[in-house]
Amino acid sequence: MPSNDARILRGAAIPTACAGLIGVVVGALTAGVSGAVGAAIGTVVVLAFFAGGLYGIGVVGKRWPELFLGAGLLLYTTQILLLVILLVIFRDATFMDGRVFGLTALGCVLVWIAGQAWSNVRAKTPYVVPESDKSSTGPESRP
């Protein structure tokens, strides 16, 4: 993983994990053990989905940059589909509080997006990398 991608991942994952920890504590205080379990599962789901997505997009962008937009759309659609499947599976779960799960997941998503945006702004990654061409009109090519 390139250093910029790793920096962006850390900039988003660490605050999200902290927000998830706060969600676990608040869930435990408000809904007991089932609230803490729901918050922990919500945090893990958000971290896994977004970190996996960032990694997948990085791989596609590095190997096939022309497929970057399509891969991003496919990744987003796949993540939403997997989230719907998880929500259907956990719909009647008694081992966790669904409301705490949803609220913690929503909070973690918002923190992830803010952390990733902040990290992208600070990374200063160039979006155009000029090729070094010695046959250009530089001082070395003049007769």
State the average pLDDT for the chain.
Answer: 87
142 has pLDDT over 70 = no
pLDDT (0 to 100) of residue 128: 73
Query: How far is Cα 6 from Cα 42, in angstroms, rounded to an integer?
Result: 23
DSSP string, 58-89: HHHHHH-GGGHHHHHHHHHHHHHHHHHHHHHH
Q: Which of 79, 86, 85, 87 is nearest to 112 (CA)?
A: 79
Segment holding 25, helix H or strand E: helix 3-31
Query: How far is Cα 97 from Cα 120, in angstroms, rounded to an integer?
Result: 34
pLDDT (0 to 100) of residue 135: 54
| Whole-number percent of the chain with pLDDT over 70 | 87
pLDDT per position as a tens digit, 80-122: 898 889 888 888 888 999 899 999 999 999 999 999 999 988 8
pLDDT (0 to 100) of residue 138: 52
Contact 9, 51 (CB under 8 A): yes
Instruction: Over range 43-66, report the average pLDDT.
Output: 90
140 has pLDDT over 80 = no
Segments making up each domain of the chain, as ranges: 3-117
